[in-house]
Amino acid sequence: MRPFIDDLARRGELAVVRRPVDPRYQLAAVTKALQKAGEQAVLFETIEGSDLPVVSNLYGSHERLCRLVGAGDRTFCQRWIELTDACLAGKDADVLEQSPASVNSEFRSGALSDLPAITYHARDAGPYFTSAIFLAEEPETKVRNLSFHRSMYVSDEELRVRLAPRHHLTMYHEKAEKMGKPLEAAMLIGPPPQLFLTAATPLPYDADEVEVAAQLRGEPIEMRPCKHIDLKVPANTEIVIEGRFLPNERRPEGPFGEFMGYYVPVDNNAVFEVLGVTARPNAVFHSILCGSPEEVLTLEITIAANIFQRINAILPGIIDVICLPFAFHAVVQIRQQYEGHARQVLQAVLGAEPTWAKYVTVVDEDVDLYDFNDVFWAILTRARPDRDTIIVPETPTFYRDPHKDHWGRMGIDACVPFARRAEFERKRLVGADEINLEQWLSQA
């Protein structure tokens, strides 16, 4: 993560806050204000109650994520599929992790209370760890999984973790419980960026996600043994919290302000027994403001890439896919090939993504896919509500939905009529892209 931060600083994409900041509410408020002002990452140098600086919004820019995966002139979807397909196919199999000798001697031990105790929202139950990636092994196969799960601070010995249904870590925990064993896991705060992206990506249950991250990196990821559990972790991770999930134990966690913008109520969730904390010299703590671009963008682009891959395999003319302005809305850009093409795409997306694609819109190639105003303009000027809308009633989408608030799905064909495409040519102002307003508004 450090070279990534240094690169952002060189590019002018890192804001630095030097005055002391209170981790209770104030840090989140400043982060939110900076995100409203632009896409810069932010480094807080002085945190009250902790010796560690905090960085946030590292991954909150679509352009940065494209740069991170080497997209070049390709879309993120195209490049990400190229990379993950190669990894899962076993290409570049010589790029695996290695274990440096005596690396543990560089790390200093500490306690959870040494870390920044960040409370984000007004009704949060207390400080939360929002950026930590859990690394755990499947109890039988030892395949490694990387996943995000928020964790509520209770004491230096206990965190309470919300494990969502269907997540691989949840399945690991349940399998270990049936075996009568705790599940060992390490929480990675500030790992290499490739691990961050891999953790946000839906991969097959039997995919070793540490190996996938190493292959995405293009060079070995050095690993070091943990001090308290039988796991190895990436050696240049800033902070590692070692522990285990207690079997058959659930305790109250929450409320917490989640990514949808609401508070998730108190519920009985998994108990993580903390066995030790280690940190690199001069470690930097990574914080993610839930619901911010840094959290939802990585989710959205991997959802979009998954949709792109599946529908591109069965239908022609797929140009790009994006989730805009939120993960529940997939927008597909196509080059129309025949009458009814857009409707087929809608149906394909609804079948390909059962969890997130609550709303789907299909647009033509002349629409700016990354501008929600332009997408909505296409809906308003090209879609007839009574003819170009598909409603799928009584169908579940988002998995954590006990009251069925997210049941039902909608598809919108916002493409021009295939036989009348010439009538929908967009007007163009000659020379508009070349105007320099400073020259026109100067007094000279």
Report the C-alpha gap between 217 and 95 in whole angstroms.
9
At 93, is the pLDDT very low, low, confident or very high (cuts 50, 70, 90)? very low
Angstrom distance (rounded) from CA 48 to CA 115: 11
Nearest CA to 60 among 32, 90, 102, 84? 32
Q: How confident is the model at residue 81 (pLDDT cuts 50, 70, 90)?
A: confident
Per-residue pLDDT, 95: 44
Between the two ends of the chain, the Cα-to-Cα distance in Å is 48
Measured distance CA(192)–CA(3) in Å, rounded: 9
220 preceded by a cis bond (ω within 30 of 0): no
* Lowest mean pLDDT, pick from 51-55, 66-70, 224-228: 66-70
Query: Is the confidence at residue 99, as pLDDT, over 70?
Result: no
Confidence of residue 291 (pLDDT cuts 50, 70, 90): confident
At 293 the pLDDT is: 86
pLDDT tens figures, 19-36: 999 999 999 999 999 999
Of 158, 160, 230, 217, whose CA–CA distance to 191 is shortest? 217
Q: What's residue 164's pLDDT?
A: 82
Checking if the pLDDT of 423 tops 70, the result is yes
Q: Is the pLDDT of residue 94 over 80?
A: no
For residue 33 the two structure tokens come to 């204000």
pLDDT the model gives residue 79 = 86
Which of 74-88, 117-131, 216-230 is least confident?
74-88
* Mean of the per-residue pLDDT values of the chain: 91
Model confidence pLDDT, tens digit, residues 381-406: 999 999 999 999 999 888 778 889 99
pLDDT given for residue 107 in this prediction? 80
> Which of 102-106, 179-183, 210-214, 255-259 tops mean pLDDT?
179-183
The answer to whether 177 touches 293, Cβ cutoff 8 Å, is no
Alpha carbon 356 to chain centroid, angstroms: 13
* C-beta of residue 47 within 8 angstroms of C-beta of residue 54: yes
75 closest CA partner among 282, 350, 321, 317: 321
* Residue 73 banded pLDDT, cuts 50, 70, 90: confident
Query: Mean per-residue pLDDT for 76-88?
Result: 81
Q: What is the pLDDT averaged over residues 42-62?
A: 95
Compute the average pLDDT of residues 66-86.
Answer: 85
Write out the two tokens for 42.
């932010």
Per-residue confidence band for 190, with pLDDT thresholds at 50, 70 and 90:
very high
For 384-431, give the DSSP string. -TTTSEEEE-S---SSS-TT-TT--EEEEE-SPPGGGGGGGPPP--TT
Write down all domains in the chain, each with its CATH number in brackets: 2-293 (2.30.110.10), 314-424 (3.40.1670.10)
Residues in contact with 299: Cβ distance below 8 Å, sequence separation at least 6, in sequence order: 200, 259, 323, 327
Residues 52 and 255: their CA atoms lie apart, in Å, by 26
pLDDT of residue 89: 74
Calpha distance 209→201 (Å, rounded):
9
For residues 244-272, average pLDDT: 93
Query: pTM of whole model > 0.85?
Result: yes
